[in-house]
Structure 1
Amino acid sequence: MANNKVLKVLFVPILSGGHVYSSIGVAERLIHSGHEVLFLVNDFWSGKLTKYGIREVLLAKIDSPFETNGATDLAKHMIARGLVGGDSPLQKAQREATFVELWTKHMKQFDPQFERLLPTIQPDLIVLDQFMTWPSLELSAIPCVWLWGNGPLIMVDDEKAPPHESGLSATGDQRLWQEFRQVVRDATKDMWRAFNDWMVGRGCEPLPEYAIQNPSHYLNIYGIPHELDYQDIRPLGHNFVRFDNFKRTESDLTFAVPPELAEKPGALVYFSLGSFGAADVANMRRLLAILAKSPHRFIVSMGPLHNEYTLADNMWGEEWVPQIRVLPLVDLVITHAGINTVCETMFFGRPMIAMPLFSDQYDNSQQIQDTGFGRRLDAYKCSEEELLAAIETLLNDREMAERVAKVSRRIQTDNSLAKLPQIIEDFVQNRRKYIE
């Protein structure tokens, strides 16, 4: 540990599964290095993090759709507003102001509570995974690491790369990039101006145009294998540090393929559309009806609405399955392409069928296809023939299997996350080196 100083590190993640889990992956490394870690949690997460050695600080309830019951309420809210569903990324971009408005209201309720807690906690460092910055954070002068729990395009909107959440190819028509950017800017410009004016009114510096955070103020860490990154076309500043993943160890979890599935023939496939995808019961039923016609076996992450649909004889599933223990056992992964699942699947060297639902999942899915580690399909419009054919193609693609296995070997050998505590310690000691 640098200078033998124990750091008190406060984590403030978005309180939904993927964001909390990636924060836990970072926290585990800091705890192992001797640092003290606290998480701000709500009622749903209270009591769930202590097993990692994390101290919990319970937040007061606020009236917000982002105050979730394990993301189910938020998922239903997003589906109802058309932010998750069968519309195209461009159609959803036209509704981006709705999301910005919702998140701004949430943040304005949360920020005063955060401001009151800081003098009590007195952290040496804040690790933040949020969508937008807060005045109390900007004004606190406490060193901050921004943990980006989404794909890398969201960090900096650089015209040398596709716009985030577009799902457009890094090698595609750049006129489509500009069209998408303009749609988002037109949809959000009034909300952005109001948010920026409010930040400035609180005494903060103006934000970069159309941005709802200022990455130059922080050490920025993000997780994605370099094989899926965009730094070849859009290099990042020295205050951005990439890791191959933020994978949790979860040493207490075990999993074995249930006997009723283990005894059946066929390859083994893991199917998970995350909490948002699983909450769209109608689409889950449609996709499971297709998979029921496959000769292969499926482990299904069913989500909190698991009682509203049933599985076929070639399937086994539960509300929640220990994904980190399942992935090494399967031959193929069908995923919504959330960044954690993508990184964990690459860690274990499995090809993917990526079926994005919203946000960075579109970008992650396109990169998976463009770089030859899987296939992108439309979660809402793919036909029975498309999905079943994609499964057979990927299961029999030996070249793809070796390509993803090679990446897996590199990731596990490099163990990039082991370097994280030293980087964090150096940032606290030498902050100017990173942000000036």
Structure 2
Amino acid sequence: MSPTGRPLRPLTILFAPESAYGPTNNCVGIGDVLRRRGHRVVFAAEASWKGRLAPLGFEEELVNLAPPPEQPQDAGQFWKDFIRDTAPEFRKPTIEQLGTWIKPVWEELVSGARYCEPQMKEIIDRVRPDVIVEDNVVCFPALTTAGVPFVRVVSCNPLEMKGERVPPPFSGYPAGDQSGWDEFRAEYDRTHRALWSDFSTWVTEQGARPLPDLEFVHEGDLNLYTYPESADYTDARPLGPTWHRLDSSVRETEEKFTLPPGLADGGALIYFSLGSLGSADVDLMRRVIASLARTPHRYIVSKGPLHDEIELPPNMWGTEFLPQTRILPLVDLVITHGGNNTITEALHFGKPMIVLPLFWDQYDNAQRMAELGYGVRLDPYRFTDAQLHGAIGRLLSDMTLRRTLTEAGETIRARDGLRTAADLIERAATA
């Protein structure tokens, strides 16, 4: 290391993100800082991302998680289709989803890890990284057995790092009421132990250490997670010295956004997004849009992959993809599915939220925002106009909350999560 703490030579850094937009964009943001510092940044990306990362200045090493499809797919298409086809499961209580939705997701993730293990080994042999960064929830043994520092990034709600004094992940249960925690944990154990045991055995057969009990991924030599301190569970579940919180990790972009003329005047300006996966549920998108059309406000809508099937009324404008981090500073309120990136980005810019959780950690994010008073949690399939419209009205008129979130956003932005992450990865690579 130099006297300033920077590496004396350029590093080769291999990122292995999960195929969804959230983890990939998180790695892109951190990777761009490292690339600008002169390091070689390589992405072991799922094959549907072909051609999406090279224009950003990264090397692409493509990975198939299953036999290649006959026709090329859009980025992350497998998970978009999976969400669309399994959306009826989201209407169930979270404890009932453990066996019918959470377990099938783990099964797909485990299957992908098994399938691509030889590819991962070949990529590591070609790339010869100085450090490997994985932003995923499942173990790829090749990443932990390469003989270089391994960095784990958590782009999910921090309940993923479990503790007896915090609610179980995926439950959406309140932090202040432990009455259902043990039952949920027992059901998770019942539905997942056999799958975990088989996977842990396979992991050790590949030369990696056994997985921790009921965990599908190892901790790293360095561990990073993205969540603002003001919303974290640190007091109830302290973490070890290898763990570092990034209050936010907001990708920097030169992409511009200008408010469409049709939205220049009117009521409050509100951003609505169910994410690239949740928006695949077209019926739900139409339901929310129809309710919002009965308000006096203006809306920017992220329409998602099935945008051609979604019509917007006159008080709305939207497209398939939107530069979310350029839009959030402009709006008064965010209506979101509760994905970790959108939650942390909204807090980064000091915006209140209405959260309509659909799956995975979105229930935990929705509950956390509600119990901290940063937003309102609503059932996406059962809310009424009165509930949604009332929540919009309360959040827009709460000036105390707006001041609180504005101050929180200033603190989060000052902590500069992107450069904090880049600094820590550099140190891990040269320790």
| Alignment TM-score, normalising by the size of structure 1 | 0.93
Within the candidate set 160, 166, 187, 1:161 is matched to 166
Question: Is 2:369 aligned against 1:368?
Answer: yes
How far off its partner does 1:417 sit?
Answer: 3.0
How far, CA to CA, are the matches of 1:42 and 1:427 in structure 2? 25
Report the equivalent of 1:32.
36
One-letter amino acid of the structure 2 residue matched with residue 102 of structure 1 = E
One-letter amino acid of the structure 1 residue matched with residue 274 of structure 2 = L
**Runs of 5+ unmatched residues, structure 2:** none
Alignment deviations for residues 268-293 of structure 1 (CA, whole Å, 9 cap, x no partner): 00000101221101111111110010
Report the equivalent of 1:323.
324
Within the candidate set 143, 146, 171, 1:140 is matched to 146
Within the candidate set 85, 90, 94, 1:89 is matched to 94
**1:238–1:84: structure 2 CA closer, same or farther, 3 Å change rule?**
farther
Question: Is 2:214 aligned against 1:210?
Answer: yes
How far, CA to CA, are the matches of 1:58 and 1:94 in structure 2? 31
Counterparts of 1:246-261 in structure 2 under 5 Å?
Answer: 246-251=249-254, 253-261=255-263
How far off its partner does 1:84 sit?
Answer: 5.5
How far, CA to CA, are the matches of 1:305 and 1:79 in structure 2? 10
Mapped contact 1:125–1:143 kept (Cα < 8 A)? yes
C-alpha root-mean-square deviation of aligned residues, in Å? 1.8
How far, CA to CA, are the matches of 2:88 and 2:60 in structure 1? 31
Within the candidate set 216, 226, 229, 2:229 is matched to 226
Counterparts of 1:337-416 in structure 2 under 5 Å?
Answer: 337-416=338-417
Mapped contact 1:83–1:358 kept (Cα < 8 A)? no
Alignment deviations for residues 6-54 of structure 1 (CA, whole Å, 9 cap, x no partner): 1100111012211110001111221222211011234432222234321
Report the equivalent of 1:336.
337
How far, CA to CA, are the matches of 2:76 and 2:148 in structure 1? 30
**1:3–1:304: structure 2 CA closer, same or farther, 3 Å change rule?**
closer
How far, CA to CA, are the matches of 1:164 and 1:61 in structure 2? 25
Task: List 4+ stretches of structure 1 deviating above 4 A.
Answer: none
How far off its partner does 1:255 sit?
Answer: 0.8
How far, CA to CA, are the matches of 1:202 and 1:277 in structure 2? 35
Mapped contact 1:33–1:421 kept (Cα < 8 A)? no
| Alignment TM-score, normalising by the size of structure 2 | 0.94
Alignment deviations for residues 111-158 of structure 1 (CA, whole Å, 9 cap, x no partner): 11101221111000111012211222232222111111211111x221
Mapped contact 1:127–1:144 kept (Cα < 8 A)? yes
Report the equivalent of 2:238.
235
How far, CA to CA, are the matches of 1:113 and 1:238 in structure 2? 32
Provide the secondary structure at the position in 1 that maps to 2:401: helix
One-letter amino acid of the structure 1 residue matched with residue 156 of structure 2 = N
Mapped contact 1:40–1:57 kept (Cα < 8 A)? yes
**1:410–1:84: structure 2 CA closer, same or farther, 3 Å change rule?**
farther
% identical aligned pairs: 36
Mapped contact 2:248–2:345 kept (Cα < 8 A)? yes
How far, CA to CA, are the matches of 1:73 and 1:416 in structure 2? 30
Report the equivalent of 1:126.
132
Report the equivalent of 1:41.
45
Provide the secondary structure at the position in 2 that maps to 1:422: helix
Provide the secondary structure at the position in 2 that maps to 1:175: coil
Provide the secondary structure at the position in 2 that maps to 1:94: helix
How far, CA to CA, are the matches of 2:23 and 2:128 in structure 1? 23
**Runs of 5+ unmatched residues, structure 1:** 431-436
How far, CA to CA, are the matches of 1:341 and 1:124 in structure 2? 31
How far, CA to CA, are the matches of 2:105 and 2:402 in structure 1? 38
Alignment deviations for residues 235-262 of structure 1 (CA, whole Å, 9 cap, x no partner): 00111110111111102x1111111121
Report the equivalent of 1:434.
none
One-letter amino acid of the structure 2 residue matched with residue 128 of structure 1 = E
How far off its partner does 1:204 sit?
Answer: 2.7
Provide the secondary structure at the position in 2 that maps to 1:2: coil
Mapped contact 1:78–1:84 kept (Cα < 8 A)? no
Provide the secondary structure at the position in 1 that maps to 2:270: strand
Alignment deviations for residues 380-431 of structure 1 (CA, whole Å, 9 cap, x no partner): 111111001111110001111111001011112232432333322222232x
How far off its partner does 1:224 sit?
Answer: 0.9
Provide the secondary structure at the position in 1 that maps to 2:49: coil
**1:332–1:82: structure 2 CA closer, same or farther, 3 Å change rule?**
closer
